[in-house]
Amino acid sequence: MNPVQILVTGFTGQLGRLVAGALRDQHQICPRVLVRPQHLSQDWEAPRGMEVRSGDFTDPASLSAALEGCDAVFLVSPVHPEMRSREMALVEQAAAMPRPPHIVKISGLGTRLDSFVDSGRWHAEIEQRARELRLPATFLRPMFFMQNMGRQIPGVLATGILHGAVEAAAIAMVDARDIAEVAAAVLIGDSPIQGQAVPLTGSHAFTHEEIAQALAVAFGQEVKYERQSSEEMRALLSSLGMPDWHSEIVLQYNRAFIQGWASQVSDTVEQVLGRAPRRLEDYFAELATASVSPDDPR
């Protein structure tokens, strides 16, 4: 039996929006979406076929109200030093409900308690707390979003150069739309991975040399991969105004990539959805032929 109520957090971000859309369009479920009050006060247009609740991770009362009657919760939030406290606040509120919902949490690269990747360690601590509270939970761990690569395309096309400080690392990235569809299947209780912690990847791990080749084919121009040092990457991120804590995590990701932490391909997407994951080459082709923004959920 499908759950009658699902709460989706992170709706104003890419992944939350995609998950809510998949629940509505593919599973005919009207999701409840949590939106911060400041968004609602900015002449924000309510989405079709969704129930909007005002709330914030820092407001326990709003979380309790949003969780009332929910069978499952999609939990995602941006990487941030306060990510642990924010997500743990929802986990704690969920555990206090008369009938605790199933938590479907997005974790990520390097999710383990001894990780040198700060965000991976934070994810592991949140997962551990959910287990300690005996919450029904499924943890999805995408290694890298294809859409993150897509955002680099304008700069790459302008210069013909794909920069990266990952040496010859192979990265098994995954399309955000596949993550969302997997999450939706788990939220409605229709997947073979219920209650597990699983990686999410595409069907191939790409080096940056291969990514440059795929970009060249899709956009019909020469693209070369130019390696950067960690110091060069740090200086670039600083020049872009990225906070030090965020720059450090990006460099930690690169170190993890070089050590092979994202090189293994998983069959989770195919196992859950019954089809192969979307290919990076096809994603690039979409952007090239349809002039689709890297953030477009199509």
Buried b (16+ CB within 10 A) or exposed e, 227-265: ebeeeebbeebeeeeeeeebbebbbbbbbbbbeebbbeb
Q: Is the pLDDT of residue 258 over 60?
A: yes
pLDDT at 2: 52
1.10.3720.10, 3.40.50.720, 3.60.20.10, 3.40.640.10: CATH of 6-145+174-202+263-277: 3.40.50.720
List phi, psi (to 5°) of 81: -55, -20
Q: Is the pLDDT of residue 294 over 60?
A: no
pLDDT at 46: 78
pLDDT at 264: 97
- Whether the CB-CB separation of 55 and 62 falls below 8 Å is answered with yes
pLDDT at 1: 44
pLDDT at 39: 82
Q: Is the pLDDT of residue 166 over 50?
A: yes
- Whether the CB-CB separation of 198 and 140 falls below 8 Å is answered with yes
Q: Is the pLDDT of residue 74 over 90?
A: yes
Question: Domain residues of the chain, as ranges?
Answer: 6-145+174-202+263-277
- Whether the CB-CB separation of 261 and 169 falls below 8 Å is answered with no
pLDDT confidence tier of residue 41, bands split at 50, 70 and 90? confident
> Percent of the chain having pLDDT more than 70?
96
pLDDT at 31: 97
Alpha-carbon gap, residue 153 to 147, rounded angstroms: 10
Q: At what angle do helices 176-187 and 14-27 cross, to 10 degrees?
A: 60
Q: Is the pLDDT of residue 199 over 70?
A: yes
Q: Where are the beta strands (DSSP E) in the chain?
A: 6-8, 32-35, 51-54, 72-75, 102-106, 137-142, 161-164, 197-200, 224-227
Which pTM was predicted?
0.95
| Other C-beta atoms lying within 10 Å of the C-beta of residue 78 | 11
Residue with tokens 């090239």: 288
Question: pLDDT, tens digit, for every residue of 200-245?
Answer: 999 999 999 999 999 999 999 999 999 999 999 999 999 999 999 9
- Whether the CB-CB separation of 156 and 162 falls below 8 Å is answered with yes
CA–centroid distance for 191 within its chain: 19
Residue with tokens 């302008």: 158
- Whether the CB-CB separation of 72 and 3 falls below 8 Å is answered with yes
